[in-house]
């Protein structure tokens, strides 16, 4: 069941070959354009064969994605893309299977499949476009919309507490959890690459701007004036720093309580800070909830971007096919006539 995506590095296609003949129908200015472009940019670098790539999507704006990729593709039904992709991957482990989904698709109607897919860990790459709004149905609040969000279906503000997608994924025992954003192409490319290279289900949450119904939801992470203070970029083995010239850092008091420290004033060095470890599930959980911490007089906590968590665990399709192999070793390849006949027969003469 060796995956083609890591064993070969020569692809039989270029980015241009991935552009389908369909007109793209996303709204002008939608964040989806950037994501499509970065995917098309990265895929040829992964050593895949074009005919082995399949994009599977659910329903929603993001889920039109497969139509714009000149690979095999399935535009399916609302919320079920992860399950459909799982069936494809288990039955055809040699394929590179990508799931394109949104916050409504995966966290609302498809929430059950989302958590169970992560737990089962088939080798899928899930790109979760999170724009914190329902776009295709024209602007209702989604399960990731913040409390109080005023939308068409919540004119007095949403009364619901939102999901934290990465905390949810970690709670579901995901083996790879990362976050990026549409407006940072370089970072997004790197994260797509990491997702593809991960063996097991990779969950990449992509903050995606819906410029029609939720414009600017994530601008604080990309606007020149705010981004250094609001976005923290993770690197394995490196301290958690952010702010102008990385002068702010995050330290863990008592091993589990994040606090913002000023590296210039506090007499602290980078070695005193929280060093990011992608294999630490506990700290991944703290990272996922970082912005929820009350500030300690040093301003608000930033949101993290990058790989939060990446561990190895056996893949579903490997286990399924290993059992078939084992059964064949034990009992020999099935013999239909013997099966039908069974152990007790009698003759009528």
In the complex with another protein, which residue's Cβ is closer, 84 or 126? Answer: 84
In the complex with another protein, which residue's Cβ is closer, 84 or 250? Answer: 84
CB 325 to another protein: min, Å: 9
Please report, for residues 204, 338, 339, 343, 349, the alpha-carbon distance to residue 346 in angstroms, rounded to integers and kept in the order given: 60, 15, 16, 10, 10
In the complex with another protein, which residue's Cβ is closer, 63 or 158? Answer: 63
In the complex with another protein, which residue's Cβ is closer, 245 or 333? Answer: 333
Q: How far apart are the first and last CA of the chain?
A: 50
Q: Which two tokens stand for residue 47?
A: 């050593």
Residues written for the chain: 349
The phi and psi torsions of 61 (rounded to 5 degrees) equal -60, -50
Closest CA to 180 of 200, 211, 208, 153: 208
In the complex with another protein, which residue's Cβ is closer, 70 or 281? Answer: 70
In the complex with another protein, which residue's Cβ is closer, 101 or 145? Answer: 101
Pairing of strands 303-310, 72-75: unpaired
Chain centre distance of CA 155 = 31
CB 284 to another protein: min, Å: 24
CB 1 to another protein: min, Å: 13
CB 107 to another protein: min, Å: 16
CB 24 to another protein: min, Å: 12
CB 161 to another protein: min, Å: 24
d(CA 333, CA 330) in angstroms, rounded, equals 9
In the complex with another protein, which residue's Cβ is closer, 226 or 323? Answer: 323
CB 100 to another protein: min, Å: 12
d(CA 256, CA 238) in angstroms, rounded, equals 18
What is the DSSP annotation of 205-258? Answer: EEE--BTTTBTTTTGGGTSTTTHHHHEEE--TTSB-EESGGG-EEEEEETTTEE
d(CA 283, CA 139) in angstroms, rounded, equals 35
- How large is the C-alpha radius of gyration of the chain? 23
DSSP-assigned beta bridge partners for residue 151: 154
Binding site for another protein (CB under 8 A): 20, 22, 49-54, 56, 59, 66-67, 69-77, 80, 83-92, 94-95, 112-113, 116, 320, 323-324, 326-328, 330-334, 336-337, 339-342, 344-349
In the complex with another protein, which residue's Cβ is closer, 159 or 327? Answer: 327
CB 21 to another protein: min, Å: 8
Q: Which two tokens stand for residue 87?
A: 């069936």
């Amino acid at each position: 069941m060796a995956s083609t995506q890591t064993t070969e590095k020569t692809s039989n296609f270029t980015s241009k070959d991935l552009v389908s003949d369909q007109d793209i129908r996303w709204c002008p200015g939608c964040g989806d354009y950037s994501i499509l472009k970065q995917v098309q940019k990265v895929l040829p670098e992964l050593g895949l064969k074009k005919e082995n790539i399949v994009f599977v999507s659910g329903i929603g704006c993001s889920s039109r994605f497969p139509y714009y990729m000149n690979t095999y593709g399935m535009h399916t039904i609302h919320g079920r893309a992860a399950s459909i992709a799982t069936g494809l991957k288990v039955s055809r482990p040699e394929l590179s299977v990508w799931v394109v989904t949104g916050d409504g698709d995966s966290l609302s109607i498809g929430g059950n499949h989302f958590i169970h897919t992560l737990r089962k860990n088939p080798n899928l790459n899930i790109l979760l476009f999170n724009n914190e709004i329902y776009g295709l149905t024209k602007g209702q609040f989604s399960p990731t919309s913040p409390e109080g969000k005023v939308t068409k279906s919540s004119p007095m503000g949403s009364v619901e507490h939102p999901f934290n997608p990465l905390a949810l994924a970690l709670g579901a025992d995901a083996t790879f959890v990362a976050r990026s954003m549409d407006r940072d192409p370089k970072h997004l490319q790197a994260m797509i690459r990491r997702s593809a290279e991960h063996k097991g289900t990779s969950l990449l949450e992509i903050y995606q701007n819906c410029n029609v119904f939720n414009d600017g939801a994530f601008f604080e992470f990309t606007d020149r004036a705010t981004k250094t203070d609001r976005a923290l970029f993770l690197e394995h083995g490196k301290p958690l720093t952010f702010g102008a010239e990385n002068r702010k850092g995050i330290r863990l008091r008592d091993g589990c309580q994040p606090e913002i420290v000023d590296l210039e004033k506090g007499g602290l060095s980078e070695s005193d800070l929280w060093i990011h470890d992608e294999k630490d599930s506990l700290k991944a959980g703290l990272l996922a909830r970082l912005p929820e911490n009350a500030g300690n007089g040093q301003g608000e906590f930033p949101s993290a971007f990058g790989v939060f968590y990446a561990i190895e665990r056996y893949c579903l399709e490997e286990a399924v096919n290993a059992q078939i192999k084992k059964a064949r070793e034990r009992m020999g390849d099935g013999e239909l006539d013997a099966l039908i006949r069974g152990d007790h027969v009698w003759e009528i003469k």
